[in-house]
Chain A
Amino acid sequence: MFTLLVLLVVLLVGCLGVYLLLERKPVAEKVGFALPSSLVGASLVLCEPKEVWAVTKPFPLHGRPDEVYLRNGVLVPLDTKTRARDVVYPVDVVKLSGYAAILRHHPAFEGTPVSSTGWIRVVNRSTGRVRHHQVELLTDNELLAIHRRRSDLLSKKATPRPATNPTYCRGCAQRSRCPSPRA
Chain B
Amino acid sequence: MNSQKRPTSKYPPKGSISVSELGAYASHCEVQALLRYRDGVAKSSVTEESKAGDRIHAQMAAQAVRYESARRSGSYQGPRDSRCYIATAVFGASAPETERLREWRDEVLMPTAAGRCLVACYYWLSPKLLILARPNSIMERGVRTLLRGFVARLAPRSEKEV
Q: Which residue of B lies closest to A89 (CB)?
A: B27
Asked whether any CB of chain A lies closer than 8 Å to the CB of B160, the reply is yes
Find chain A residues with CB under 8 A from B10 CB.
50-52
**Cβ of A139 < 8 Å from any Cβ of B?**
no
- 8 Å CB interface, B1-60 against A: 1-3, 5-13, 15-36, 38, 43-45, 49, 52-53, 55-60
Residues on the B chain within 8 Å of A32, using CB: 63
Interface residues on B, range: 35 or more
Residue interface mask A26-69, B partner, CB < 8 A = 1: 01101111111110110111111111111010011111001100
Q: Cβ of A104: which chain B residues have Cβ within 8 Å of it?
A: none
A35 nearest CB neighbor, chain B only: B67
Q: Are A66 and B31 in contact (CB-based, < 8 A)?
A: no
Do A62 and B19 touch (CB < 8 A)? yes
B149 within 8 A of A: no
Cα A163 to Cα B20 in complex, Å, equals: 18
Are A51 and B9 in contact (CB-based, < 8 A)?
yes
Taking a contact as CB atoms closer than 8 A, the residue among B26, B31, B112 that contacts A91 in the complex is B26
How far in angstroms is the closest Cβ of chain A from B130? 24
Write the nearest CB–CB distance from A16 to chain B, whole angstroms: 9
**Chain B facing A: main interface SS:** helix
A178 at the interface (CB under 8 A from B): yes
Residue of B nearest to A95 (CB): B23
Chain A residues with CB below 8 A from B35, complex form:
174, 177-178
Knowing A80-B60, A160-B30 touch, does A61 contact B79 (C-beta < 8 A)? no
**Using Cβ atoms and an 8 Å threshold, which residues of chain B touch A127?**
111-112
Contact with B along A137-181 (1 / 0, CB 8 A): 000000100110110011000001111110011001110011110
A-B contact pairs, 27 of them (CB 8 A): A20-B114, A33-B60, A36-B159, A37-B99, A38-B159, A38-B161, A38-B162, A47-B65, A52-B10, A63-B18, A63-B19, A74-B162, A76-B162, A80-B60, A82-B53, A91-B23, A98-B19, A109-B1, A129-B111, A134-B157, A160-B30, A160-B34, A161-B29, A164-B28, A169-B29, A177-B35, A178-B32
Residues of chain A at the chain B interface (Cβ within 8 Å) = 19-20, 23-24, 27-28, 30-38, 40-41, 43-54, 56, 59-63, 66-67, 71-72, 74, 76, 80-82, 89-95, 98-99, 102, 106-110, 112, 115, 117, 121, 123, 125, 127-134, 143, 146-147, 149-150, 153-154, 160-165, 168-169, 172-174, 177-180
Q: Give me the interface of B with A, judged by CB distance under 8 Å.
A: 1-3, 5-13, 15-36, 38, 43-45, 49, 52-53, 55-61, 63-68, 71-72, 76, 78-79, 99, 102-103, 106-108, 111-114, 157-162
